[in-house]
Amino acid sequence: MCFSTTGVNVKAYPTIRSPIKDHNMVNILYLGTSTFTEKKERGEFEPLRMDDEYLIRFLRSRNYKLEPTYRLMVNYHDFRERNMSYYEGVAPVELSHIADADIINVLPYREQTGRRIIYFKIGKWDPSTTSVDDLFTATLAVLEAGMLELRAQILGGVCIFDFEGLSMTHAWNITPSTVSKVIEIMVTSFPMKISAIHVLHESWIFEKIFSMFNPLLPTRYKEICYFHGGDLSSLHKHIEPKYLPKAFGGTRPEYSYQQWFISLTRDPRVVNGNCYQANIVSKGRFINSRLSKKS
């Protein structure tokens, strides 16, 4: 493996940037809106929305740089148009089979730097019952909802990929098209910041799969990849055990990803938002009622 954190020199997370002052942010938004409006009038690109709340997500994701922000918006909308099946009529309750299998989850608490943690347990994925498209749909629902959180827009998030139980059956279902979409979501076409990527229990099968991704990853992403193998103490050098569930050597109990959706429905900004993300989370209230009836 070309990257490792098992040595003595463990790389720290990137430093959190200081928030930009309000008046500077307003000026940047004004310039950004003008830029996008001009491009729209020239027929180059027509964004879904032009309100400040929507645009600021993209600006934050690209550190308020206008041209990279514009390219991100174009890529994001292009990805949506090519993959509308991942967005139309999606509700968390319809993804319950993925949640029940504990393949994807967002922890309902943050780690020590204030960032959310999303994890993927690829070895628990059964390709015979859950398609790759189902995984993309669930992932995008989680990410879109997560981007409604102001702190997530500013600080970004932490990803944990656990490959325990990975088999050749999984490898056969990861095609070049799958690799391309993963890169689009992680790197080029989604308004989110990834602060760290932690990989657990990588095997020779993982090595083969990762060889398809590695040439496509920008240097910045390679620099924030940390490979721990089965050494959870190595992971704990980056994320303290008190901010991790027991499955990762932490002290927290296990939570269903539904708990995170429920917590979002208690945020007035989310419930009252008029956008795809708020629609996803509002549908999540149905999960809350179902759980209440069971208890």
Asked if residue 27 has pLDDT above 80, the reply is no
Q: Residue 176's Cα: distance from chain center in Å?
A: 20
* Full-model pTM: 0.81
By percentage, how much of the chain surpasses pLDDT 70?
73
Q: For residue 99, what pLDDT is reported?
A: 77
Q: What's the pLDDT band for 264 if we cut at 50, 70, 90?
A: low
Taking the CA of residue 134 as centre, how many other CA atoms within 13 Å lie in the half-sphere pointing to its CB? 18
Residue-wise pLDDT tens digits, 44-63:
777 778 788 888 899 899 98
How many whole angstroms separate alpha carbon 27 and alpha carbon 47? 20
Average pLDDT over the chain reads 80
Residue-wise pLDDT tens digits, 194-243:
999 999 999 999 999 999 999 999 999 999 999 999 999 999 999 999 99
Q: For residue 3, what pLDDT is reported?
A: 42
Query: Cα dist. 78→48, 87, 121, 189 in Å?
Result: 11, 13, 29, 8
Residues 6+ apart with CB under 8 A from 144: 276, 277, 280
How many whole angstroms separate alpha carbon 20 and alpha carbon 23? 8
Q: Which domains does the chain have, with CATH numbers?
A: 22-82 (1.10.8), 90-294 (3.40.525.10)
